[in-house]
Amino acid sequence: RTDRVRIKGPGTDLRFSIDGIPAISCAGEHNVPDGECFTAPVKDSVEGHIQFNAETLYHGTVFNDIRLEFEKGKVVKATGSDDEKINNILDSDEGARYIGEFAIAFNPHITEPMKDILFDEKIAGSFHFTPGNAYDMADNGNRSDVHWDMVLIQRPDYGGGEIWFDDVLIREDGDFVIPELKGLNRGNLV
């Protein structure tokens, strides 16, 4: 079980807890294609900032360069290619400014964003962080009409990055580094 998560990379230094919230592995039961493991942060635990590097499509609008800043779990500043639209979405209800999902992706056959979130959220070497509603299976209590998956690719060709669980490095530059998870790296999955 993991308590503390830290994510670092270009424009990103994020800290939060996932203590007590289930982690759900997805291997084709919910979506096709699949290839992620998701949970949610403790609602008020998210601190720091994140700079997303994959375009995201939400309700027909493409957004780029989204940057979110957090205090006590809440998005306190949001910028990107259309600041006004981004903030209008995040202001649509109280839960839209809190995170409802954190998921690590590892589908080796999806390597580049295509502005279709059912694919983009599975990009090998990425993770997504989702303002809005939490899933019942990994519920942190956040409720919202919004569920906006935003993707950060951490492979070297996208600037790299690290994910730490309880001060242990688990993924670096998009590849798992601990022996128990190395089988999920791109070169090991068919």
**Which carries the bigger pLDDT value, residue 118 or residue 168?**
168
| Owning domain of residue 146 | 4-188
**Residue 100: phi, psi to the nearest 5?**
-105, -10
pLDDT in tens, 112-155: 999 988 899 999 999 999 999 999 999 999 999 999 999 999 99
Distances from the Cα of 178 to the Cα of 31, 88, 116, 150, 172, angstroms:
27, 40, 30, 25, 10
Report the pLDDT value the prediction gives residue 32, as an integer from 0 to 100.
63
Residue 24 structure tokens:
């759900």
**Stated pTM of the model:** 0.94
Helices (H) and strands (E) in the chain, counts: 2, 15
Integer Cα distance of 107 and 72 in angstroms = 32
Q: Number of folded domains in the chain? A: 1
> Taking the C-alpha atoms of 162, 51, 48 and 129 in order, what is their torsion angle to the nearest 10 degrees?
-80
Report the pLDDT value the prediction gives residue 190, as an integer from 0 to 100.
60
